[in-house]
Chain A
């Protein structure tokens, strides 16, 4: 995590902008995310030289070019693997992984799975636009069933997956969901950045060319009140424009939408959010529109050891136990024998 250097001047969001022209399509949700990330970096006192943005391939993966930090635009799906190498080599760096639904969940699914279970201390932003944008509009692993695209003219027959369910199943220590244009994004990114371990943030992002308004239900001023529910630790799950709807766990341990004041339901009956409850987090990750309001915010947040820290500890422990190995020791290990002259 970032530690501000006391005598270094505090940077502004603008200081995190590189000299490169941003080349996303006008109106793309990526702009909003980029602005928020720059602001969060400034607010947290991040140092440009200690920050590294690593991405794969796709629209979202152009992100590093627009940050005036160290950056690596890698190859398709491999950002988590490369970022792991960076953290093992230098755990002091502040590493962000930028990926998308195709890059992170399709071609790079395996690496996402393993960086999460290892709990490498990086922040992953998965821009989910439910479409392949850079290759001009094919369905993605999060596209809804039946979606008609250039590569699925009769409708997609793939069942979409839930990025958050996947992350939780992969032992994520931090999982959250946010929306590109929502004000809540900055707060969630801040928490992700401060979390020790892999933080996984799914960001609903509008591709205004190939999948425009895919998330209208969650971003429209009126609709979002009915279709999303904001998670707050220790607070009941309440939503609706009149703040009179909520989520209750029924006798079958399943979530259900209820109205406060109807059928004897009171606020006290509602589900309380607990960021440390793995099963609850998973239940929340299965709540999809239109059957449920989709939860926004931090699903899950626990503390656990980080891979690169434990690896460093093994090195330190070995040095302590055996002494720091020299070349002399290295050559003389094993069964040595002398050939006399």
Chain B
């Protein structure tokens, strides 16, 4: 928490701080995601800049009370411009011993730890894996290091709802709102956004007014407890961030992808047909789009990943906007069909919301390890365009850009999002609906001049669609004869067509912007990144620059084709560092393509980079202690040359 001036309001002094990182943690059934989302919503509405990191187990309900079942939600809210959910936690809310155990190491020294004391009893302590007779709350090592507040949240919540006539179980379900109310008080935030949400969701949508009322009561009880209990020395206030004036909403990456795709379909005057098979962390895109039928959106929940991609290809063949969405394991299943889309040169979008791999891997955790799969994971020489958004809000623009490229070049385009972007949220300024260029689409109708594999100046073939008289033609996975599109096994033709499929990708280069460095155009070190690591990289580079280092950042949205000036940009820096949440996939490409001795900071821990980790890597690169090592890995948030 950044220091600021203290002021007084009522009995409790309110201390002004520039930013705060709060983490809600509890059992996966404790409603921590809801508490976190509501806190985020309120923070955004009062004008803070926000960045969030939900962190939940793959199991819907892992055994209650165990460390495996802990669900967390971290939010960084600030009076300044921020790009990450924060390296270190200023205030932890731990609803049970397991949550305490799982998250206490991330709290800053001197930080606030609010525990639900009611749950720190024998059974739960045992479930959390603490030795018999040990309670960490009685342990001086924690009490000396943190400001630990033992609040019997379960009991207080029960007492505040004792008159409702509700059962103990239902009452217990409201305790997240008690905790949220307390945190609202502690950070001087209004309750009305959450009250409105509870009344709408439980009261109107679920038709459970009693439940709505009980949640509101708990929320207020938590707030008033903070006010009257007089055990907290200080409250904190985070002022409005200097955000560009305008209308905003909070947006997650998956929401932004959904909205971006719908926007693109309207700009192209095509029906968006989203074909997908449920998979974490991509399913929310399907959920959002399924609720958008009135925007003309059709969703098709296919029987499997292969059917999902194949039906999207069928949609493209029939002349509409076919999109399939998945995560890494699903992309592997779709590989053969993506090859069919490449061979038939049909425009379609493949979303891959990456997660930890290989195999089932870490379904709910983030990673960037599908880059090479996206680029090369198919039989044959089979190039597709690959784009990666850099922030939750950028998912919107990336989706539109992907559709624009697909339609202009008659080519499948893959979007590489990740679990961190998908579930993370940030403020999103509402775009002007009239500010977008249309996405032009042409379908040929002239039977006399039509050739299925003739090409325009971008090497795109004509998108002739069924229903057009005289343009009947047959597509397929067999090699096509140049121009006529008939099946051809001719050796020279196969060479020509393979070359054309590659040249088509290079043509896209002519339409994409040059990569611009953030910072000076030349210097000692360039930190090159792609995708969801943008926020951490940019913040670390800004900090290093403030410390007087000659460092710049550059971020790739286009992974295939790469921007034309990338090699030239790198040549202006003495050293290149590539931080990635994989073992060095972009680094391998950059080294192979540009013969640049790029170094890697590689983290494969299911979590995004901390700013600090990148800062440390920058230091090691600049002071020369990195040496000839090709890569380093942070261990327990420390990057050292011994790691």
Contacts and interface: CB of A to CB of B under 8 A. Distances in A.
Contacts of A271: none
B248 A52 contact: no
Contact of B304 (A48, A70, A110, A323): A110
Interface string A61-86: 00011001111111100101111111
Q: Which 5 pairs, one residue from A and one from B, show the smallest C-beta to C-beta distance?
A: A85-B314, A73-B476, A85-B311, A318-B293, A89-B318
A340 B262 CA distance: 29
Contacts of A81: 302-303, 306-308, 310-311, 314
B322 to A, nearest CB: 6
Given A85-B273, A321-B294, A324-B296, A71 B475 contact: yes
A338 B246 contact: yes
A114 to B, nearest CB: 4
A251 interface: no
Contact of A74 (B294, B303, B465, B477): B477
A173 to B, nearest CB: 18
Contacts of B245: 338-341
B306 A85 contact: no
Given A81-B314, A90-B318, A113-B303, A315 B298 contact: yes
Contact of B470 (A49, A75, A83, A322): A49
B336 interface: yes
A338 B248 contact: yes
B303 A111 contact: yes
Interface stretch (B28-36, B39-47, B169-177): B39-47
Contacts of A82: 310-311, 313-314, 317
B270 to A, nearest CB: 9
Contacts, number: 214
Interface string B457-482: 00000000111111111111110000
A86 B472 contact: no
Given A89-B271, A110-B304, A331-B430, A322 B313 contact: no
Interface in A290-341: 311, 314-315, 317-319, 321-332, 334-341
Contacts of B304: 110
A88 B312 CA distance: 10
Contacts of A321: 294
A89 B430 contact: no
Given A86-B315, A89-B318, 10 more contacts: A49-B469, A64-B474, A78-B306, A85-B310, A86-B314, A111-B310, A314-B293, A321-B294, A330-B259, A337-B44
Given A72-B317, A73-B476, A332-B430, A78 B337 contact: yes
Given A48-B472, A49-B471, A338-B247, A319 B294 contact: yes
B314 A336 contact: no
A1 interface: no
Contact of A73 (B251, B467, B474): B474
Contacts of B315: 85-86, 88-89
Given A64-B476, A82-B311, A324 B294 contact: yes
Contacts of A314: 293
Given A49-B467, A85-B273, A337-B248, A75 B296 contact: no
B74 interface: no
Given A72-B476, A85-B312, A314-B293, A327 B468 contact: no
Contacts of B295: 324-325, 329-330
B154 interface: no
A251 to B, nearest CB: 41
B220 interface: no
B549 interface: no
B498 interface: no
A74 B340 contact: yes
Interface of A: 18, 20, 47-50, 52, 54, 57, 64-65, 68-75, 78, 80-90, 92-93, 110-111, 113-114, 311, 314-315, 317-319, 321-332, 334-341
26 contacts: A49-B471, A57-B477, A72-B317, A73-B478, A82-B310, A82-B311, A84-B314, A86-B466, A88-B314, A110-B307, A315-B294, A315-B296, A318-B294, A319-B293, A323-B294, A325-B262, A326-B433, A327-B433, A330-B292, A331-B249, A334-B251, A337-B247, A337-B249, A338-B248, A339-B240, A339-B247
B213 interface: no
Contacts of A329: 295
B372 interface: no
B431 interface: yes
A90 B314 CA distance: 10
A325 B296 contact: yes
Contacts of A20: 486
A54 B430 CA distance: 43
A49 B337 CA distance: 25
Nearest to B487: A65
Given A325-B295, A330-B295, A335 B475 contact: no
A139 B44 CA distance: 64
Q: Is the interface of B mostly helix, strand, loop or mixed?
A: mixed
B441 interface: no
B296 A88 contact: no
Contacts of A69: 472
Nearest to B309: A81
B193 interface: yes
B320 interface: yes
A331 B433 contact: yes
B243 interface: yes
A335 B193 contact: yes
Nearest to A313: B293
Contact of A78 (B310, B316, B486): B310
A89 B487 contact: no
Nearest to A316: B293
Contact of A84 (B248, B311, B472, B478): B311
**Most chain A CB within a 10 A radius of its CB, from B314, B476, B486:** B314
B638 to A, nearest CB: 38
Contacts of B344: 72
Nearest to A307: B300
Given A70-B466, A315-B293, A337-B249, A84 B318 contact: no
B228 interface: no
Given A93-B466, A114-B303, A330-B262, A72 B475 contact: yes
Contacts of B306: 78, 81, 111
A338 B47 CA distance: 8
Contacts of B319: 89-90
A277 B336 CA distance: 40
B250 interface: yes
Contact of B298 (A70, A88, A317, A331): A88
A69 B464 CA distance: 13
Nearest to B318: A89
Contacts of A83: 314
A16 B458 CA distance: 34
A75 B477 contact: yes
A87 B315 CA distance: 8
Contact of A336 (B249, B294, B297): B249
Contacts of B53: none
Contact of A65 (B248, B339, B474): B474
A232 B311 CA distance: 36
A2 B419 CA distance: 46
B601 to A, nearest CB: 35
Contacts of B468: 49
Nearest to B312: A85
Contacts of A89: 271, 273, 314-315, 317-320, 322
Contacts of A334: 249-251
A317 B431 CA distance: 28
B323 to A, nearest CB: 11
B244 interface: yes
**Most chain A CB within a 10 A radius of its CB, from B316, B319, B433:** B433
A332 B313 CA distance: 31
Nearest to B464: A70
A276 to B, nearest CB: 27
Nearest to A92: B467
